[in-house]
Amino acid sequence: MSKQFDVIVIGGGPGGYIAAIRAAQLGFNVACVDEWKNDKGGPAPGGTCTNVGCIPSKALLQSSEHFDHASHHFAEHGIGLSNLSIDVSKMIGRKNQVVKQNNDGILYLLKKNKVSFFHGRASFAQAVEGGYEITVSGSANESLSAKHIIVATGSTARQLPGAAFDEDRILSNDGALRMAAVPKTLGVIGSGVIGLEMGSVWRRLGAEVTILEALPNFLGAADEGVAKEALKAFIKQGLKFEFGVKITEVQTGNDAVTVAFTNARGEAVTLDVERLIVSIGRVANTVGLNAAAVGLQVDERGAIVVDADCKTNLQNVWAVGDVVRGPMLAHKAEEEGVAVAERIAGQHGHVNFNTVPWVIYTSPEIAWVGQTEQQLKAEGRDYKAGQFPFMANGRARALGDTTGFVKFLADAKTDEILGVHIVGPQASELIAEAVVAMEFKASAEDIARICHAHPSLSEATKEAALAVDKRTLNF
């Protein structure tokens, strides 16, 4: 006899657990099934984001940034240090603690909201009268059924053909977050978000990092001006880049990995590194879901096919987050999770894909929302641009972090903000103002006329908005 629910959420990552909580808030009897295990075999909900993504990478970025500051910047403040060292196992231990706090926090939140949590793998068993039957296998072995199913099974790291992850020499995001020692040399394939964040962590701790990128240019999704400024800063820090490469072979030896590639000039090159991170994107995860049992439509890339409202081809089966189209971002998954729960309740859940912010947590941080200058040019849109450098911002000078700028793009006639691009200190936090502004269809002048605290980095945002009308006050 299967346990009956109104809604079963498959997957407990940011898309799934948030959908479960929102559905429970709306009065539904909800189950959430997640199979992720901690090192003791217990439940570790939170998905890639909590366990091997957003959260642990930010913990290591913080630790490595402290080390970098102590190594290179404390002296400017008159702080002397001798015998500076890094205890990698302690750093990884702290990161694991941060992950555990988040895992436990999610279990607490599910309980608080009366969501029934099942630790195991959920798969479709069959369609039944008025809904679907789901089999859970793992720590929990159950049969569950519900009218509504929300699939939030996330994504996994894409493997490079001929270079399977062994998480020892060839690392995915998972292995990159738990190296036992700082490698002398580190290769990274793919100069995307993971490559840059993980490359930065290990570079700050002393690794010589070489990033190999297939495309001829850097961070194609970012505004070109921002990408250029960021690349300059990363090269200055010591990250090495090769663009336009074609990887021909990856060979793993006892204590090294050899990557053979053709460089942009067509020359054959080999790179020997102690460890290699492969960060060339992620693929939707439907492994073990048994989608075929109920005829759930999956596309050729393995993603579940959904419409704009996250509806699949099956009545009352929904899918959200990395397992469907759109950017693989935790906050996009959360928004979809909330919207689906509200749609199930007959409300009008909405996700505005035009105002989903992007953040790369390097130093300088990179963040943007809306369209890039190259996109506006390609569209033939008439726009105005305004830019303000952190070099001219008092708070940035006091922080000793003056790299980068804030850039506004606004419609030439209406002045509506079309995109905001930030490279510099605290870009991840500063972008929130731009998201709010765009969501409310603000003009650049609206931001320019708002009082911003002094001294703060946010004044650079105001000044960039003023720059759209060529009237900066401090530059």
Could you list the active site residues? 454
d(CA 229, CA 235): 10
- Contact call for residue 250 and ligand NAI (CB under 6 A): no
425 CB-near residues (< 8 Å, 6+ apart): 364, 365, 390, 396, 399, 401, 403, 404, 457
- Tell me whether the omega of the peptide bond preceding residue 364 falls within 30 degrees of 0, making it cis: yes
122 CB-near residues (< 8 Å, 6+ apart): 8, 10, 33, 35, 134, 135, 136, 144, 289
DSSP letter for 168, please. Answer: S
Residue 162 beta carbon to ligand NAI: minimum distance, rounded to whole angstroms: 10
CA 419 to chain centre: 19
- Contact call for residue 199 and ligand NAI (CB under 6 A): no
- Contact call for residue 186 and ligand NAI (CB under 6 A): no
Residue 282 beta carbon to ligand NAI: minimum distance, rounded to whole angstroms: 4
Residue 191 beta carbon to ligand NAI: minimum distance, rounded to whole angstroms: 5
Q: Which residue type sits at 291?
A: A
- Contact call for residue 281 and ligand NAI (CB under 6 A): yes
- The CB-nearest residue to ligand NAI is 192
Considering beta carbons, is residue 244 or 455 the nearer one to ligand NAI?
Answer: 244
14 CB-near residues (< 8 Å, 6+ apart): 46, 47, 49, 50, 321, 330, 331, 333, 334, 337
Residue 154 beta carbon to ligand NAI: minimum distance, rounded to whole angstroms: 10
- Closest by alpha carbon to 92, among 46, 48, 59, 51? 59
Considering beta carbons, is residue 41 or 281 the nearer one to ligand NAI?
Answer: 281
Tokens of 14: 């940011």
Among 194, 273, 351, 437, which residue sits at the site for ligand NAI (rule: CB under 6 A)? 194
- Closest by alpha carbon to 270, among 251, 289, 286? 251
Among 276, 329, 430, 431, which residue sits at the site for ligand NAI (rule: CB under 6 A)? 329
Among 46, 154, 195, 321, which residue sits at the site for ligand NAI (rule: CB under 6 A)? 195
**Which residue intervals of 164-305 are DSSP H helices?**
173-176, 193-204, 224-237
Span of 86-94, 110-118, 273-281, 446-454 interacting with ligand NAI by CB under 6 A: 273-281
The site that binds ligand NAI (CB under 6 A) totals a number of residues, namely: 25
d(CA 420, CA 385): 10
Interaction residues for ligand NAI, span 153-172 (CB under 6 A)? 160
- Contact call for residue 191 and ligand NAI (CB under 6 A): yes
Site string for ligand NAI, 212-231 (x = CB under 6 A): xxxx----------------
Span of 68-76, 94-102, 192-200, 367-375 interacting with ligand NAI by CB under 6 A: 192-200
- Contact call for residue 319 and ligand NAI (CB under 6 A): no
Among 189, 317, 341, 447, which residue sits at the site for ligand NAI (rule: CB under 6 A)? 189
**Which residues bind to ligand NAI, rule: CB under 6 A?**
160, 189-195, 197, 212-215, 245, 247, 279-282, 327-329, 359-361
